[in-house]
Amino acid sequence: DIQMTQSPSSLSASVGDRVTITCRASQSISSYLNWYQQKPGKAPKLLIYTASSLQSGVPSRFSGSGSGTDFTLTISSLQPEDFATYYCQQSSSAPYSFGQGTKLEIK
């Protein structure tokens, strides 16, 4: 099975900052990488699929990149509503595992 590792596990940042979260797969997954945002008490929300495609309705300040084993999620200018936990997920082969999450907190 493919293991997904995110870094950092937590991150403090300020409104307006540029933030990058990294996700690494234990083997090559091509571009089969998705990113989700989850706020407390809510279901996750799909942000990015196939590494760099923006899901409909997601603000353009979110972007994704990478292929093979290394991927990044970038938020270009943090907004108050972006403070949440972010998860990557590989969709290359079942079981479609998630990373452990990155909690983005207000500095």
Partner 1 sequence: DVQLVESGGGLVQPGGSLRLSCAASGFTFSSYWMTWVRQAPGKGLEWVANIKQDGSEKSYVDSVKGRFTISRDNAKNSLYLQMNSLRAEDTAVYYCTRGKPGIAAAVDWGQGTLLTVSS
Name residue 25's beta-bridge partners: 4
Residue 24 is a binding residue for partner 1 (CB under 8 A): no
CA gap 107, 97 in Å, rounded: 30
Residue of 29, 38, 41, 22 whose CA lies nearest to 2: 29
Q: Please pick, from the candidates 19, 21, 36, 75, the single residue that binds partner 1 as defined by CB under 8 A.
A: 36
User: Minimum Å distance from CB 86 to partner 1?
Assistant: 11
Report yes or no: 4 and 97 within 8 Å, Cβ to Cβ: yes
Residue 19 φ then ψ, to 5° = -125, 140
Residue 1 is a binding residue for partner 1 (CB under 8 A): yes
Q: Please pick, from the candidates 21, 32, 73, 75, the single residue that binds partner 1 as defined by CB under 8 A.
A: 32
Residue 70 is a binding residue for partner 1 (CB under 8 A): no
Interface ranges with partner 1 (CB under 8 A): 1, 32, 34, 36, 38, 43-46, 49-50, 55, 87, 89, 91, 94-101
